């Protein structure tokens, strides 16, 4: 089967940097997505990685190492509004549905 | 451009009943996927429709079914509801299909409570 692991919960301080890790063991790989989901709301797209390396988008960056089956989402200059669940999802092959991890609930404290 | 819309937003049913949920994708999007989200299991894939055809199906019992109309709107139906069906049901649309880097855009979900 397909397996995607993320920490269940993390806590970080406002203004700090936090790294949310995601490891995957899947039968194939055709891209990795990160979504943000605030409580009671829809997941919203944050980033997509298909090649190794770092993708930067404002305060958020995402890194991928395909050889290690590993990705992380880096959030800088944390704000209270960043308190949310962060979902890692892998597309195993073209035209197949995304496989999601169970999500990491991030709490940003003052 | 309007986002993905889902109706109803909240629903309470009793065991044994059936329910139909509706999803309207972003205009121009032809692929619609359905997911079930629960605290214990996270987001689990139900099925995907593309051009009115079911393209992919997850590991859910036959009580869960869906369809897509010519205007890309989609419905999912759950028959003979069980307590364990209580969940947030999310619909996501994408432009062509769930391929490669195609981004899926999620609706706000329908929260179903089965009593």
CB contact under 8 A, A44 and B45: no
Nearest of B74, B70, B86 to residue B33 by alpha carbon: B74
pLDDT band at B89 (very low <50, low <70, confident <90, very high): very high
B44 touches chain A (CB under 8 A): yes
Greatest alpha-carbon pair distance for chain A in Å reads: 43
The partner residue sitting opposite B98, judged by closest CB among A43, A95, A103, is A95
Of A34-38, A85-89, B95-99, least confident by mean pLDDT is B95-99
Bridge partners for B24 per DSSP: B5
Which pLDDT tens digit goes with each residue over B37-64?
998 888 999 999 999 999 889 999 999 9
pLDDT band at B101 (very low <50, low <70, confident <90, very high): low
Which pLDDT tens digit goes with each residue over A40-75?
889 999 999 999 999 999 999 999 999 999 999 999
The pLDDT of residue B1: 66
The pLDDT of residue A96: 82
Q: Which residue of A has its CA nearest to B41?
A: A102
CB contact under 8 A, B41 and A41: no
A5 pLDDT more than 70: yes
Rounded Cα distance, B54 and B72, in Å = 12
In degrees and rounded to multiples of 5, residue B85 shows phi and psi of -80, -5
Q: Who's near B61: CB < 8 A, 6+ residues apart?
A: none
The partner residue sitting opposite B48, judged by closest CB among A43, A97, A103, is A97
Greatest alpha-carbon pair distance for chain B in Å reads: 40
Q: What percent of chain A has pLDDT over 70?
A: 100
User: Mean pLDDT across the stretch B9-32?
Assistant: 96
The label of the residue with tokens 């890309």 reads: B72
User: Mean pLDDT across the stretch A67-91?
Assistant: 97
Residue B96's Cβ-count burial label (10 Å; 0-12, 13-18, 19+) is middle
Q: In b/e form, how buried is each residue of B73-95, taking b as 16+ CB within 10 angstroms?
A: bbbbebeebeeebbbbbbbbbbe
User: Mean pLDDT across the stretch A5-28?
Assistant: 97
Query: Residue B104: how many CB atoms within 10 A of its CB?
Result: 26
């Amino acid at each position: 089967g397909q397996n995607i692991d993320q920490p269940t919960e993390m806590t970080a301080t406002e203004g700090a940097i936090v790294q949310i890790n995601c490891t995957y063991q899947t039968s194939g790989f055709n891209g990795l997505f990160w979504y943000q989901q605030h409580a009671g709301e829809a997941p919203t797209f944050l980033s997509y990685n298909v090649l190794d390396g770092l993708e930067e988008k404002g305060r958020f960056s995402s890194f991928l190492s395909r050889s290690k089956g590993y990705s992380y989402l880096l959030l800088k200059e944390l704000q209270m509004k960043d308190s949310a669940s962060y979902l890692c999802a892998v597309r195993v092959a073209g035209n197949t549905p995304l496989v999601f991890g169970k999500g990491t609930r991030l709490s940003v404290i003052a | 451009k309007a986002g993905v819309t889902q109706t109803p937003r909240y629903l309470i049913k009793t065991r044994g009943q059936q329910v139909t949920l509706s999803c309207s994708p972003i205009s121009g999007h032809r692929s619609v996927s359905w997911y079930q989200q629960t605290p214990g299991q996270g987001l689990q894939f139900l099925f995907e429709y593309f051009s009115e055809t079911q393209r992919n199906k997850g590991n859910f019992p036959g009580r869960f079914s869906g369809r897509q109309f010519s205007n890309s709107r989609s419905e999912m139906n759950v028959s003979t509801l069980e307590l364990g069906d209580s969940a947030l049901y999310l619909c996501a649309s994408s432009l062509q299909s769930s391929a490669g880097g195609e981004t899926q855009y999620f609706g706000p979900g329908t929260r179903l409570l089965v009593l």
